[in-house]
Amino acid sequence: MNMSEFERWRRDVYDPFVATHPERKASFETSSDLTLPPTFVEGDDVGPGEPPYRRGIHPTMYRGRLWTMRQYAGFSSPKETNERFRYLLERGQTGLSVAFDLPTQIGYDSDDPLALGEVGRVGVPISTLDDLDQLFDQIPLDRVSISMTINSTAPILIALLCALAKRRGVPIEALRGTVQNDILKEFIARGTQRYPVGPSLTLATDVIEFATESMPRFHPISISGYHIREAGSTAVEEVAFTLANGIAYLEQAKARGLDLEQVGRRLSFFFNAHNHLFEEIAKFRAARELWYRITGDRFAMKDERARQLRFHTQTGGSTLTAHEPENNVVRVTVQALSAVLGGTQSLHTNGADEALSLPTSESAKLALRTQQILANESGVTEVADPLGGCPYVEDLTSRVLSAADELIREIDKRGGTVACVENGFIRGRIEESAYRAQVAIDDGSQTPVGVDAGAEIPDAPFTVDTSIEAQRCDQLAQFRQGRDSAAVEKALVEVSARSKAGDNVMPSLISAIENNATLGEIARTLSEVHGEFRDDQ
């Protein structure tokens, strides 16, 4: 928007609007009474909301609607996690994000011997439909957007959510939110995979197919660069490997015979926000444009909405320090600012104490307040893509895009994403980058501010009650005693039969949950069909 266009906009749009909405005038002016246009576009430049979406997927961005403030939480028990959810919702959080404990992520019930010592430690344990009901107690499933960070057992968690909706009389078509369901990044960066690569991709595609057909308001996959970056990748590698995984999922959907335009409209992405403000902003902008190119060039997609890259962001957990943890508030603020200036659709801000323990309620509140201050006091929401056209940012965006595109082409030359997951190429690149970053920290060239090897580290401010494991075992024993064992066995046989036949397992998973099968029992049934992944495979 040049000056003449700005004057026309102010005369024809802004002045009539504030005349009828005087209460909104302050939202579009500085303290000096300088009117702010919705965006700036010079000459023939492409603006926000226009392909290839470098400048954002919406023309007015946050002037029309703020990003979703979706704080990640989960610990101890469904009851205690529900209390944290409601605590945050009461303070202005606008979406839920569920962290599951490691046994739930891999597919073990809380009373499984392999779960010993991990129940409720880094997330909430979920084994039964009753557990999920308690987790979302007094939370309306059709009015609150729910994100679930779960991968290997994503089909089972979606089945649990659908069964809970049916129990409460909520149509599954009304469910809103996202399930991560990105199993490829588990093999290259995180490690909670249960089944081999091939069957894992089949199950992930089952979720995509089911949700595309039956859950129109739900995103069936969140293709995650976050964990790739946490494992030590560079910003360019985060973009390249994430989008390469996205290519693999679209190829799976195509092979299944799914409508790629429908699938594309339901895809979402998940990125990290690290400390270099401008590289992170450039990374988000580059990823958006590169994905637009990929969906057109590789998959001949025409639907503009299907080609838009929508993403959630979380500030960088690996950047937080146990020394002087109060400094992490500043780090998180800078990182969150990069996500907002980069055009994120939803955001989680880490707690200052997360290098020491799970966040306390006060730390979680401060993290949420950080987002609210950015949204309501900083002015960054008042103009769409305010850094658009800045020579430094535009040049950096182009260079990130070019380098990421080159790396994706290297993956293609090596046989594609799945081959590079199986042969270790992608994981090897991440490990090399992680090593270089650690050397820079150790030699002092990039040691975080406030980190002193000789200084004391504060005590963990939050600990999980160790008695939770015994309580969970007792609850599961009572649950199993009160159910129809024959009905459970019949339902699990159906899960096995559909898996062996190559049919979509989602309907049988929902039926098994409704017949009171547990998450661990269903995961074991699937492993009996597909086998289990071993790192030497």
Cα angle: 83, vertex 62, 313; to 5 degrees = 55
Residue 520 CB neighbour total at 10 angstroms: 24
Name, in order, each residue with C-beta under 8 angstroms of 238's C-beta and a sequence gap of 6 or more.
Answer: 225, 228, 229, 271, 272, 283
Question: Omega before 113 cis (within 30°)?
Answer: no
The first and second tokens of residue 52, run together, are 């290839």
pLDDT tens by residue, 433-489: 999 999 998 898 989 999 987 778 888 887 888 899 999 999 999 999 999 999 999
Place of tokens 């780090």: 331
Amino acid at 132: L
The Cα 482–Cα 491 span in angstroms is: 17
The Cα 170–Cα 133 span in angstroms is: 13
The first and second tokens of residue 385, run together, are 């893509």
Phi and psi torsions of 125, nearest 5°: -85, 130
The Cα 255–Cα 249 span in angstroms is: 10
Residue 299 CB neighbour total at 10 angstroms: 19
DSSP string, 233-298: --HHHHHHHHHHHHHHHHHHHHHHT--HHHHHHHEEEEEEE-S-HHHHHHHHHHHHHHHHHHHHHT
Map out the domains of the chain with their CATH numbers: 61-442 (3.20.20.240)
pLDDT at 258: 97
The Cα 426–Cα 536 span in angstroms is: 16
Q: Which residues of the chain have pLDDT under 50?
A: none
pLDDT at 31: 78
The first and second tokens of residue 128, run together, are 């039964």
Residue 211 CB neighbour total at 10 angstroms: 25
pLDDT tens by residue, 5-48: 666 666 766 677 667 766 555 567 777 877 777 787 777 788 89
Is the whole model's pTM more than 0.85, yes or no? yes
Q: Residues 393, 343: contact at Cβ < 8 Å?
A: no
The Cα 124–Cα 42 span in angstroms is: 50
